[in-house]
A and B are shown apart, each in its own frame.
Chain A
Amino acid sequence: MNIQGIGMVSALGRGIDSLETVLETGPIAPSMIEVPFRPALFPVYAVAKETLKDKTALSRMRRADRFSKMAVLAAIDALQNAGIELHDPARTGVVLGTAFGPHPTVFSFLDDILEFGDDAVSPTLFSHSVHNAAASYVSVALGLAGPAMTLTTFTDPFHQSLLLAQTWLDQGVCDSVLVGGVEECGTVMEYIVSRKLRIADDETNIQPFFAEGGPSVIPGEGAVFFLLGREPAGPYSVQFGQIGSKAEPAPDLWIVDFECPTLPSSAPAGCWSHLVGSMPISTAVSCAAGVLMLTGGTVYAQTGLVKIEDVQTERIGCAGRNKTTLYLRRD
């Protein structure tokens, strides 16, 4: 699967360049926001309102929620990043993976039920609370008429989405597939995270590999989309290896999720997904970072368990939670 373009929306801003910048310069501090469930400020890597302002791209979705807007902007950027025209929109598919979907919209709908009653809820909120609304908006915004699938798993939604994209490309169902992951922050989920996980503070931030008593997290949100095709195109000359194949050669660098409990092997390892906060779609962020490193011939500095500044890499393994693995290789 050739990676033809990447689009990304996160606390770092919009576009894959925003990730490259922070890989070079180091982590930015999270936003510290007021929350109703604790007196102290709460750290979060939230997408700024300004990042989601794009009258042209979002002209047909003024009533859409943040989840859908993040998805559409990242998908549009992936296509623009590739710099190619799609030959046949009916042969381009969309696969969107998410763990929690547009939960703030679901909670807004529940607000309607509780405040106004069962017979006075908003039809717009209801239709946007359905998980596949975002993929539908992506298809409409880009005029794509191939298959569109939305998947959920809590462990590694991007991995499963990529696997489906692979079957569509391998079987000739599509010539290209936009595959991505989307997650959104919201006050209720931040409360749940605070009850279930250790929250890092803004000064210590997330510290990959240094996890006394388990890793500390800072919730993040955003969307990452890859345009994939059977043929090479776009700026990267990097491919995903065949998922599920035992013939993939060992990588010379691992990129691991910062919550990954064990390192996959003795090869050098680093973690960069935490730069946009903790998200179930972090594997997509790791893969985006890996593509930039393979393309630029640079492995960025990592303060962590191992020093990897001098590594020359041709193949990168991206390890997610639940022992999922994706491989990237230079074309």
Chain B
Amino acid sequence: MSLPSTVLITGMGAVSAAGIGIPATLKAFQRPRREPAPVTRFESLLTFPVFEVENLPAPPELKKMRTYALALTAVSEALEQTGLSNLKGRRVGIALGTTVASQLNDLEFYNAWRSNYAAPMEAVDRFLSGNLAAFIAKELGVNGSAITVVNACSSGADAIGAALGWLQSGLCDMAIAGGADELNRIPLCGFNALGVASAEACRPFDKNRSGLNLGEGAGVMVLETEPSAAARGAESNLLLAGYGSAVDAYHLTAPHPEGRGLRRAIAQALTTANVRDDEIAFINTHGTSTLENDKVEGSTLADLFGNTPMLSTKGYTGHTLGAAGGLEAVFTALGLREGWIPASAGFETPDEETGVIPVREKTKVHGACALSTSLAFGGSNAALVIKYRK
């Protein structure tokens, strides 16, 4: 396998309940206060706790397009770090993952349709005004490839992986990649129906975990080939070094008991990054706090990586679905850059079945490489390897 191009991370943006922007997020990671609460953004009978983003700066035209507003906020932060005022004339691809924004799921529109077999078209027009990647491409005035990846909870990580492929193939010089998703009534009802929503704050990998808390947010990286960055005098110590993806081919909603696809995704990510498993300084896990995910992911990672430090950041953000892979890739890069990872919020009691004990406090990390894993409905598994060049 020949993958010639070194791909730099020249900008990052993050929006979640942990904070709007990277400085606020890092501050939250040092004070693991967790206050998920019943949803306030829409009415629902369901009262289990969620992680909402408060005070999101959103222009009026995006009032009913919250996923777009989340994405735009993260993209703006990431682009600001690149020092580029605009992207005109550059070969830029956009790859963004989502779940909610890919569906025409407006209850108001659908209820009107059911009642009258006719309905106003505003919700449809909003939906058709561009899917997530097309919307961001239009906002930035770029016309390279633009894809919205809809691989459920691994969408954000897979979007970053797709962008890495484009850059290494020379299809573009720069890519904006990650994921975004808003809290929405559809997944709220759906995850409750599946019996995996917790009535309390989530506890990834804890013996007494009782399910996930939904969240919302966006995590975005600006990826750039080394020659492209060098040509404009930009530098970055952070590299997106490897990506792997593989399916379980087992079940629509349950992971393979032995982590079949996850093992292959990790192996592929390490191979493409040319990194050994003992070079991994820490792992930012998917760690949803559901019984099945944490059992399979935990036991697989324990088998592959032994006592390598690991954490789940979902105790700060909730499960942000299509945004999760993007946010956690950013958090992984931040861990390498800052030299520490936060406590795996919510973890107290070890579970023999998972076989892992995530870090319980802010922990210094040593090493230049880290892994971020994502598992999803449909048996999709994705792994990203990020490097810090000292």
Contacts and interface: CB of A to CB of B under 8 A. Distances in A.
Interface of A: 36-37, 89-90, 94, 100-101, 103, 106-107, 109-114, 117-119, 121-123, 126-133, 135-137, 139-140, 143-155, 160, 163-164, 166-168, 170-173, 188, 191-192, 195-196, 244
Nearest to A157: B147
Given A122-B193, A123-B194, A154 B188 contact: no
Nearest to B165: A167
Nearest to B172: A244
B249 A140 contact: yes
B289 interface: no
B189 interface: yes
A21 B261 CA distance: 41
A218 B275 CA distance: 53
Interface in B151-191: 151-152, 158, 162, 165-166, 168-169, 171, 185-191
B74 interface: no
A110 B134 contact: no
B264 A145 contact: yes
Given A127-B252, A128-B252, A168-B165, 5 more contacts: A118-B192, A132-B377, A136-B378, A167-B169, A171-B169
B190 A153 contact: no
Contact of A136 (B245, B268, B380): B380
B128 interface: yes
Contacts of A37: 117-118
A154 B134 CA distance: 9
Interface of B: 1-3, 44-46, 99, 102-105, 107, 110-111, 113-114, 117-119, 121, 124, 128, 130-131, 133-134, 145-152, 158, 162, 165-166, 168-169, 171, 185-195, 245-253, 260-261, 264, 268, 376-380
B249 A152 contact: no
A104 to B, nearest CB: 11
Contact of A145 (B45, B186, B193, B260): B260
26 contacts: A37-B118, A94-B247, A101-B102, A107-B110, A118-B46, A126-B191, A127-B190, A131-B150, A132-B378, A133-B377, A139-B249, A139-B378, A143-B249, A144-B249, A145-B248, A146-B247, A147-B246, A149-B151, A151-B148, A153-B146, A155-B134, A163-B145, A164-B162, A167-B168, A172-B1, A244-B171
Contact of B250 (A117, A128, A140): A140
Contact of B189 (A103, A126, A128, A160): A126
Given A127-B253, A130-B152, A130-B378, A114 B190 contact: no
A170 to B, nearest CB: 6
Q: List 5 A-B pairs, minimum CB-CB distance, nearest first.
A: A136-B378, A126-B190, A147-B245, A131-B150, A167-B165
Contacts of A132: 150-152, 376-378, 380
A101 B118 CA distance: 22
B139 to A, nearest CB: 16
A121 B190 CA distance: 7
B45 A133 contact: no
A155 B260 CA distance: 35
Contact of B1 (A111, A155, A160, A171): A171
Given A106-B104, A163-B145, A126 B194 contact: yes
